[in-house]
Chains A and B, each alone.
Chain A
Amino acid sequence: MGKLIVAVALIVAACGGGATSAPATPAASVPVGETAVPPPTPALSGSVRVLIHQNPPFVDFMTAFNKTFEANHPGVTVEMEVVNANDLMAKTQSRLTAQDVDVIDIFAFDRAVQPFMKNVEAPGWQKLIDAGLLMDITDQAFVKSYDAASVADAGSYNGKVYAVNLGRVGYSGLYYNKDLFAANNVAVPATWNELVAACATFKAANIGCMTAGGKDGWPIFVGAYGLLGSYFPDQLGLVQGLWDGSIKYTDAQWLELLGKYKVYAGEMIEAGASGIAGDAAPGRFASGEVAMQAGGTWYAAAIDSLSPSFKWGYIPFPGSDNAADNQFMFGKYDQGWAIANDSSNKDAAVAYLSEFSDPANYQAFVDAVGPIPTQPGATLSTTLGAEIAPYLATFKIGFENYWLGPKGAGQYATPMFTNLFKPFGTFDDPAAAAAQAQADLQSGLDAAQ
């Protein structure tokens, strides 16, 4: 029994999510943002129904935040549902339709239909707004807490604001284990060739070169985004080129790139990586069994929390043999918040987001989850913050967030996000993969004519 109580206490402490002002126990309410709660507002009541996606540090943070919110507003209960990120849109749709949700976790408004695209399905967020399901929050005070660029880029449509975005993430980086690098006399790779050599050294020492969350599929290739980025720094231009035919997957440049993907999938990533879920990859990396992890900035918090003394660095994936081409970090605006237009408890929903957006709480969120902040006053003071600081000035939005394929295009039309090469995919030959990808894309482009 004593053990049980200790365990409960530990969990409660852990759920503070790194927030320095987090209460030791939920009952002894020293709320996170007490001072920020405007007392004169009429008492709120009922429940706030919140939908969020799975990401362990985020879920822990929100669980603690909800407790504080409930303590600040007696009579209000928070009902939070957690779903897999892949299911988030589906759940958003059904719960909005059923008028069964108040606050929604929504990813950035990206993949907008570009003028050069034809015969595409509008992105999900746009359909939600067209259907009148998201509340216009343009005039809400909490929107002002976020930097204007993020609001315009990631949460606005036709001049109105429908979502606040909580941060940018980089996804083209490579985590490396500083101790393993030092012990094996490996320098931090600045070019593709150096990376290949580093892997050879680690393999010879019986250390896995790289890991990634292969079970979810996408982390494998999103991890190597820097490869694509070093060849095509203009990512929107790449999308347009593929659409108008001026760039083809069968071009020499692409063939070279695909050849590197093959090496990356077949030789750099450790065997068995397909058993590792995206959110398990940090555990694998922090265990010291592998030298590097290809992955986005969102894994940093987990790596730190698993092994606080662990020394790691984060660099852009060196995809080119010219070190100067490898200086860019690619990424996107990530998660955000929106309010359901049909919410039966809008006041409480607005209060919920206002409280979340309070600088102290937002900072606690950043500390726990680790995005690149979108509130001007917030800072990312973690290891990650220091590691990515040099790349923030030239931060670029990646291909993935512009790409919409024409209806009828095959599954390989966006080869970046499909596991192409063995052992995670079926291809062995870059030329065959290129031909397949181009054919899949072409069939959609032809259908759009």
Chain B
Amino acid sequence: MRYLFGNGASRLAPYLLITPGLFLYALFALGPSLATVVFSFTDASGLPKLPINWVGFDNYKEFLTLGAAARENLDALVRTLIFSVGVTVIQFSLGLFVAILLNQGLRGTKFFRTLFFFPVILGVTIQGLMWTLFLYPIGGPLATVLDWFGLQSEFLGGQPREAFIWVMVVQIWANMGITMVIFLAGLQTIPDEIYEAARIDGADRGQLFRRITWPLLTPSVNTNLALTIIGSLQAWQLFYVLISYRPGTQVLGYVVYATAFGQTSGSTAGTTFRQGYGAAAGVILFLIVLAIGITTQYLLRRREARLLG
């Protein structure tokens, strides 16, 4: 674009204004990220005064190929993807569905909207504690309901798969509100006249959705997909609060934290002070997120071009 606001020194005005932002970006995002890559080729412990040695690709080799531990790392990787895809698909669909329901002009819409958004602002600790209590296995609410049918469960504490699913449930419960309100706002930008005209043309509900709602919702779809995918790939705070570091439930983000900062549980004794190794795990996580992110962005752009271009 041509710069219209003067010449000479005033040409520098935009540079001046972006300096703080760029500086912060370089210092807190780009710099540390590049440094992570450097760290990943060393045996840095994270402790001062201990020597740091170049170890080449050893950390990567160990993470990806060494014994049964590598298999568990790969499991964590797969689990990360399952978590992300599951959360994204369900949260996205549910958010859209609820938004459509709330866009029908029903009474009480405002109440429901407030209620469904509320967990978002409670914060991850409160979300986690609320559900830990709700899933209390000895005579708690859900345990009682199961008991009516002669069933029982350890919920968060028993089978890793089951616990994992409950974390997904809480993640969706906690964040569906954001997806919903963004869709709701998107729906409200679509003028009623378009629907009226289509109905007169004899379009049924399915057609109205496919031909009008869905294409015109494109901006909200894009925003929601980006927010949910990125959020779910990197979010593991709920794992920390709900089930801690337990075999069979870890996602990659948590593995990185645990290896680098030495969080242990009774079952994984002593993987401490391995920041180089942790950094390698971090780089692998980044590559995966990047690959997924770029693919999604590409598909979204193509879809947008097809629909709107």
Contacts and interface: CB of A to CB of B under 8 A. Distances in A.
User: Do the two chains touch directly in the complex (Cβ atoms below 8 Å apart)?
Assistant: yes
Interface stretch (A149-157, A370-378, A401-409): A401-409
A214 interface: yes
Contact of A86 (B50, B143, B154, B264): B264
Contacts of B45: 127, 131
10 contacts: A93-B46, A93-B261, A93-B272, A214-B154, A218-B267, A222-B266, A273-B137, A274-B156, A417-B266, A419-B267
B47 A127 contact: yes
Contact of A447 (B67, B140, B143, B263): B67
B51 to A, nearest CB: 10
B273 A426 contact: no
Given A218-B267, A407-B67, 16 more contacts: A90-B263, A94-B261, A97-B46, A97-B48, A124-B273, A131-B45, A214-B154, A271-B152, A272-B137, A272-B154, A275-B156, A404-B270, A408-B68, A426-B159, A443-B67, A443-B69
B69 A275 contact: no
Given A272-B137, A272-B138, A426-B248, A89 B272 contact: yes
Contacts of A413: 68
Interface in A409-425: 409-414, 417-419, 422-425
B68 A275 contact: no
A418 B70 contact: no
Contact of A446 (B48, B67, B154, B272): B67
A111 B270 contact: yes
A195 to B, nearest CB: 22
B246 interface: yes
Interface string A197-232: 000000000000000001111110010000000000
A412 B248 CA distance: 11
A89 B262 contact: yes
Interface of A: 86-87, 89-90, 93-94, 96-97, 111, 121, 123-124, 127-128, 130-133, 214-219, 222, 270-276, 284, 400, 403-414, 417-419, 422-426, 439-440, 443-444, 446-447
B266 A131 contact: no
Contacts of A417: 266-267, 269
Interface of B: 45-50, 62, 66-72, 135-140, 143, 152, 154-160, 244-248, 261-274
Nearest to B273: A127
Contacts of B143: 272
Contacts of A425: 159
B262 A90 contact: yes
Contacts of B160: 426
B50 A127 contact: yes
B247 A418 contact: yes
Q: Is the interface of A mostly helix, strand, loop or mixed?
A: helix
Contacts of A89: 262-264, 272
A271 B48 contact: no
Contacts of A426: 159-160, 248
Contact of A217 (B62, B136, B265, B270): B265
Contact of A275 (B66, B135, B270): B135
A426 B159 CA distance: 6
B79 to A, nearest CB: 14
Contacts of B72: 410-411
A131 to B, nearest CB: 4
B251 to A, nearest CB: 15
Given A124-B270, A439-B68, A217 B262 contact: no
A217 B158 contact: no
B47 A128 contact: yes
Contact of A424 (B66, B154, B268): B154
A275 B157 contact: yes
Contacts of A219: 266
Contacts of B264: 86, 89
Nearest to B152: A271
Contacts of B137: 271-275
Contacts of B247: 411-412, 418-419
A58 B143 CA distance: 33
A131 B262 contact: no
Contact of A93 (B69, B158, B262): B262
B157 to A, nearest CB: 2
Scoring A121, A123, A132 by chain B CB atoms within 10 A of each residue's CB, the highest score goes to: A121
Contacts of A270: 138
A371 B83 CA distance: 43
Given A217-B266, A414-B267, A443-B67, A93 B47 contact: yes
A410 B76 CA distance: 13
A423 B45 CA distance: 37
Given A418-B267, A443-B67, A447-B67, A407 B262 contact: no
A121 B271 contact: yes
B97 to A, nearest CB: 32
Query: Nearest 5 CB-CB pairs, A to B?
Result: A274-B157, A218-B266, A410-B68, A408-B67, A272-B137
B155 A275 contact: yes
Contact of B154 (A123, A423, A444): A423
Contacts of B266: 216-219, 222, 417
A86 B47 contact: no
Contact of A274 (B49, B50, B155, B263): B155
Contacts of A93: 46-47, 261-262, 272-273
Given A90-B261, A131-B47, A426-B159, A123 B270 contact: yes
Contacts of A121: 270-272, 274
Contacts of A96: 47
A171 to B, nearest CB: 11
B143 to A, nearest CB: 7
A427 to B, nearest CB: 11
